[in-house]
Amino acid sequence: MTETNVKPFNLDFDLVTGLSKSTKSTKRHLSKMKGMYADDAAFAAAVQSGDPLVYEFYELDLPETSGNLLFGTSIVYPGKVGNEYYMTKGHFHTILETGEVYYCLSGEGAMLLENPEGDWDLQRFIPGQAVYVPPRYAHRSINLGTEPLVTFFTFRADAGHDYGTIETKGYRKLVIEKDGKPEIIDNPKWK
């Protein structure tokens, strides 16, 4: 959208499924996440046997100015690659000093956060829990449950997405299932 005067508008996002009837989502199948999961053999096998939909989210088309906000839902489906839970790619904002708000509508999971200084954190998502992603923090949603993890997010329209840093370096930490419970481990692939 190039027009600079935005008019009021509305959009529906189902409070349970996160899906919208009025706009189309962007879908991420597992094959688009090559190298991001620790277990390469399990990854290859899962891609081969159907390339599952791992997550989807909504992207609005508003002028990318600092006064506008983009919003929508993110839906991470339940599942694992080896013992690692389904998750989003995760990203920094191109304008690193911009934060983001996530509000969990349904499902169970966590937000994995880390900044370039090496501080990291894991914040829990349960329905009704808001998580604040401060400026400078990369953020990735992880489904730790058996239902879709649905969050509603809002961020500055000019923030931009830097996926490349995570694609190249990876996250410092991973969340895997051990003895039936989530556990945080060092990422063996982290550079």
Residue 178 vs residues 34, 37, 44, 175: alpha-carbon distances, Å: 23, 16, 22, 9
In terms of CB distance, is 134 or 145 closer to Mn ion? Answer: 134
Residue 140 makes contact with a copy of itself by CB under 8 A:
no
Q: Would you tell me how many other CB atoms lie within 10 Å of the CB of residue 97?
A: 10
> Long-range contacts of range 182-188, CB-CB < 8 Å, 24 or more positions apart?
182/85, 182/110, 182/144, 184/122, 187/38, 188/38
CB of 20 to a copy of itself, least distance (A): 9
CB of 176 to a copy of itself, least distance (A): 21
CB distance 72 to 152 below 8 Å: yes
Give me 169's structure tokens: 């370096």
Residue 137 makes contact with a copy of itself by CB under 8 A:
yes
Residue 106 and residue 6: Cα distance in Å, rounded?
30
CB of 91 to Mn ion, least distance (A): 6
Contacts (CB under 8 A) with a copy of itself, residues 55-114: 62, 65-69, 71, 95, 97-101, 103, 105, 111, 113
In terms of CB distance, is 38 or 72 closer to Mn ion? Answer: 72
Q: Which residues bind a copy of itself (CB under 8 A)?
A: 5-15, 62, 65-69, 71, 95, 97-101, 103, 105, 111, 113, 119, 121, 123-124, 127-135, 137, 152, 154-156
